[in-house]
C-alpha cells in the first residue's frame, strides 16, 4: 500500500466534496435552463462533467495506490437561486472549500512522507487556482454588467462564450486523462 490510512481517509473524505460539486453544478444548470439562461446552463453542465472527471481521478487514484475508494453519501444540493450571481457565488465558495481541502491533504501527505499523493495533487493545485480565478472573473463581469432584466441576456452570452472556449486548462485535463 503506497498511502497511509490517514491519507486514504482524507482522500475518501475529499470524494464527497468533488461529488457535491457535480451535483451542485447540475442543479445550477437545471435552474438556468428553467430560467431561460441557455448559455449559463451549458456552462454549468460542462462544469459538472469536469467535476465528475476530477471525482473519478481521485477515486481511481485511491484504489491504484492500494486504498479502498468509498462512494460518498450526499445530501441534495440547493436548487433555487435568487439570481445567477447567487449561483456563481455558491460555486466560488465551493471551489474555495475544495482548494483548502486539497491543501490540507498535501500537508498531511508531506507529514506522512507520501510523495506519490503529494505529486498526484499538484495537478489539482493548478486546477483549483484556475477554477477560483474563473468564478471570480465571472462575478466581476456580472457586477459590471449589472442586474437588470436586459443584463441577464448579456451575462448569459458571456457564459455561452465560456462554455464554448477550450482553455489551456481543458487541454491539460484531457492530456491528464490520456495518461
Question: Count of alpha carbons within 13 Å of 78, Cβ hemisphere only?
Answer: 13
Phi, psi for residue 66 in degrees, rounded to 5: 95, 5
Q: What is the pLDDT of residue 10?
A: 98
What's the predicted TM-score (pTM) here? 0.88
Q: 132-154 pLDDT, tens per residue?
A: 999 999 999 999 998 777 898 89
User: What is the rounded radius of gyration, in angstroms, for the C-alpha atoms of the chain?
Assistant: 17
pLDDT of 45 reads: 98
What is the per-residue pLDDT for 160?
92
| Confidence band of 179 (pLDDT split at 50, 70, 90) | very low
Q: What is the pLDDT of residues 49-108, one digit of tens each?
A: 999 999 999 999 999 999 999 999 999 999 999 999 999 999 999 999 999 999 999 999
Domains and CATH numbers, the chain: 5-174 (1.20.1260.10)
Burial 126-160 (b: 16+ CB within 10 A, else e): ebbebbbebbeebbeebeebeeeeeebeebbebbb
Amino acid at each position: 500500500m503506497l498511502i497511509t490510512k490517514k491519507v486514504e481517509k482524507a482522500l475518501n473524505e475529499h470524494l464527497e466534496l468533488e461529488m457535491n460539486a457535480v451535483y451542485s453544478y447540475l442543479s445550477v444548470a437545471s435552474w438556468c435552463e428553467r430560467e431561460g439562461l441557455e448559455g449559463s446552463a451549458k456552462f454549468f453542465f460542462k462544469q459538472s462533467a469536469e467535476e465528475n472527471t476530477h471525482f473519478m481521478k481521485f477515486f481511481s487514484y485511491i484504489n491504484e495506490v492500494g486504498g479502498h475508494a468509498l462512494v460518498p453519501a450526499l445530501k441534495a444540493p440547493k436548487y433555487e437561486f435568487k439570481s445567477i450571481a447567487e449561483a456563481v457565488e455558491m460555486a466560488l465558495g465551493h471551489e474555495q472549500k475544495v482548494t483548502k481541502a486539497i491543501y490540507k491533504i498535501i500537508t498531511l501527505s508531506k507529514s506522512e512522507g507520501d510523495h506519490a499523493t503529494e505529486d498526484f495533487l499538484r495537478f489539482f493545485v493548478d486546477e483549483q487556482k484556475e477554477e477560483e480565478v474563473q468564478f471570480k472573473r465571472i462575478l466581476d463581469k456580472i457586477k459590471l454588467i449589472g442586474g437588470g432584466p436586459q443584463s441577464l441576456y448579456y451575462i448569459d452570452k458571456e457564459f455561452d462564450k465560456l462554455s464554448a472556449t477550450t482553455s489551456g486548462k481543458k487541454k491539460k485535463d484531457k492530456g491528464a486523462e490520456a495518461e
